[in-house]
Amino acid sequence: MTDAIKIDVWSDIACPWCYIGKRNLEKGLAAASTADDSPEVEVVYHSFELSPDTPTDFEGGEADYLAQHKGISPAQAQQMLDRVTDVAAEAGLEYRFDLLKHTNTVKAHELLHFAKEQGRQHEMAERLMSAYFTEGRHLGQVDELVALAAEAGLDAAAARDALQSGRFVDAVRADQAQASAYGINGVPFFVIDGKYGVSGAQPAEAFTDIVRQVWAEHREDAPAVA
């Protein structure tokens, strides 16, 4: 028996490159699974806040936020958004920055940990990112997060209790502390088997290649069957 490859992904719900990276990872893993000896992979998402000081209700659009946060002109900010929109389209994602509601993401990260406890983390991560980047949903509001939790197959009342109690805040902070220990200062960041680091929204082919390489290493390390 060969152990599964573990991929730990640090990302932020409000990071446009993280959703692109997520989709490319999924495509890369799907391509790798077509081999006769398909890699077994476990993907776990971890919390990273790009801008923890962002208010729940940010006044202005995404270009305004970028201009303020990066110290650039609104025109330069819009150019950045246009570029990432084009890259997202190549990954099959339709970003709507005209609808996007910039917000603090800590509650969304708490919800991801609740979903992980319930075995629905992947579904929740996809639902949150889609809601944020393509639908203009407000992910800083508990009511909105509870509704999205229900859409991802989770119990709404239990999700509300988890968010209002704050019982997953420590789990969010632990993820952030681990990111700091790894020296991660930007996302998405992928840690493969705890020993290989991959930074940024790499193309799908890059993920295919690395999981095949690591899977070959697993097979070499696996004990022989008597």
- Write out pLDDT tens, residues 54-77: 999 999 999 999 999 899 999 999
Stretch 39-68: mean pLDDT: 94
pLDDT band for 37, please (50, 70, 90 cuts): confident
Percent of the chain with pLDDT over 70: 97
Residue 1 binned pLDDT confidence (cut-offs 50, 70, 90): low
| Whether 104 contacts 54, CB under 8 Å | yes
In this structure, is residue 226 part of a structural domain? no
**Is residue 120 predicted with pLDDT exceeding 60?**
yes
- The parent domain of residue 67 ranges over 5-221
| CATH (domain of 209) | 3.40.30.10
Q: Region 44-58: what's the mean pLDDT?
A: 95
Compute the average pLDDT of residues 95-110. Answer: 97
Asked, for residue 20, whether it belongs to a domain, the answer is yes
Give pLDDT, residue 35.
73
DSSP the chain: -PPPEEEEEEE-TT-HHHHHHHHHHHHHHHHHTTSSSPPPEEEEEEE--S-TT--SS-SS-HHHHHHHHHT--HHHHHHHHHHHHHHHHHTT----TTT------HHHHHHHHHHHHTT-HHHHHHHHHHHHHHS---TTSHHHHHHHHHHTT--HHHHHHHHHHTTTHHHHHHHHHHHHHHT--SSSEEEETTTEEEES---HHHHHHHHHHHHHHHHHHSPPP-
Position 162 in a domain: yes
Write the pLDDT tens digit of every residue in 167-205. 999 999 999 999 999 999 999 999 999 999 999 999 999
Find out whether 168 and 114 touch, Cβ atoms under 8 Å: yes
Residue closest to 63 by CA, chosen among 100, 94, 104: 100
Question: In this predicted structure, what is the pLDDT of residue 36?
Answer: 77
Number of structural domains found in the chain = 1
What pLDDT is recorded for position 220?
A: 85
Q: 226 pLDDT band (50/70/90 cuts)?
A: very low
pTM of the predicted protein model? 0.94
